[in-house]
Amino acid sequence: MTKQPRRAAVIGAGLCGLTCAHDLAQEGWDVQVFDKSRGLGGRLAVKRLPDLGNVDLGAQFMTASTVAFATLLATAAAKGQVAPWQGSVAYLTTKGREDAKEQVRWVGVPGMNTWLTELWPRQAVRFEERIESCDRLADGRWVINDKRDKLYDAVILAMPPAQAADLARGTSLEAPLRSVPMTPCWAGLALFERSLRVDFVAAFIRGGQLDWIANNQTKPGRTEHPAAWTIHAGGALSTQLIDQPKEVVAKHLMMAVAAEIGIDLPPGHIELTHLWRYASPQLATAPGILWDANIGLGAGGDWAIGGRVEGAFTAGKQLAAAVCAS
């Protein structure tokens, strides 16, 4: 008789979840990926606006420090799915402007999530499926949303820790997941009537109300609007505005841009806003992935490995390796 492959449920179609799903499938696992949204990528997701094109409100670029991630990006680059983002990036501080570290900053083309199909096909994800419960049965297998027609030997929670903790309630993972605090981020797209008189395509901001501003049009495949700027509010401002209506958030974002750039801005408005409720981990030391081999439950994301895009990839690979080792 042919042995049936082991089954894994991966909840979350961001980079961590898709990497984990890819590696498990390579090892012969039958993998089902679930996501509550309509697209791949989590915070790599792209907004497409009529008459404007693609807008990055989440992760802005990717860097590679490991061979594995660099190899994956090189493969995607050869297919035209990622490309280096050209232009000067700066630090804006209370002491003035400084050049940021020179490094290759990769972006997806034409959107940050385009290249993710290198890891997992869209048609193999069950989109717009909100997972309300994960329950372990007496035989050790898992049931998702109480649908017992398909049971799983392992479940991977590839999502922010607070959301993962709710699904891991009553298990060994709940307490460590609840101990990972996350900072929110209000993101916005500002459209100005003409180009801004600045000498950078993007800037990290230190000590102000914002964390980041970037000219979206300077990335390949993005909006053709010459003065479309992505804005990320800092943790303090985002927390202050977390429950405010979008029109109030938009007003604060525009005032913060004027204060941080330090020049007279042309007329403009905030076209789009989005709240990333769980954007950045607050812990000084990354907690690492979580995996309990006794019950077949794991959790991870960029929050587990430092908060960057590459951290999500690394967390996915570590989770898959832990599952297979068990």
Q: pLDDT of 42-87, one tens digit each?
A: 999 888 888 888 999 999 999 999 999 999 999 999 999 999 999 9
Query: pLDDT by residue (tens digit) across 243-279?
Result: 999 999 999 999 999 999 878 899 999 999 999 999 9
85 and 188 together in one domain = yes
What is the spatial distance between Cα 190 and Cα 54, in angstroms, rounded to a whole number? 14
Tell me, what's the pLDDT at 128? 96
211 and 266 together in one domain = yes
159 and 231 together in one domain = no
85 and 222 together in one domain = yes
135 and 172 together in one domain = yes
Residue 1 has pLDDT above 60, yes or no: no
Q: Over range 15-43, report the average pLDDT.
A: 96
Give the alpha-carbon dihedral of 145, 150, 154, 159, to 10 degrees.
-40
Sole residue written with tokens 């998702």: 144
97 and 122 together in one domain = no
Assigned domain for 1 exists: no
Q: Over range 176-183, report the average pLDDT.
A: 96
Report the chain's mean pLDDT, rounded to a whole number. 94
Assigned domain for 318 exists: yes
Question: pTM (2 decimals)?
Answer: 0.95
Sole residue written with tokens 């405010």: 244
Query: pLDDT by residue (tens digit) across 154-166?
Result: 999 999 999 999 9
Tell me, what's the pLDDT at 96? 87
Q: Over range 125-139, report the average pLDDT.
A: 96
263 and 126 together in one domain = no
94 and 198 together in one domain = yes
271 and 187 together in one domain = yes
Domain count, the chain: 2
Tell me, what's the pLDDT at 3? 67
23 and 36 together in one domain = yes
Q: What is the Cα 235 distance to its own chain's centre?
A: 16
Q: Which domain holds residue 174?
A: 7-45+115-180+286-325
Assigned domain for 2 exists: no
203 and 148 together in one domain = no
- Those residues whose C-beta lies under 8 Å from the C-beta of residue 196, and which sit 6 or more positions away, are 215, 227, 229, 261, 263, 265, 266
Whichever domain contains 243, its CATH number is 3.90.660.10
What is the spatial distance between Cα 322 and Cα 326, in angstroms, rounded to a whole number? 6
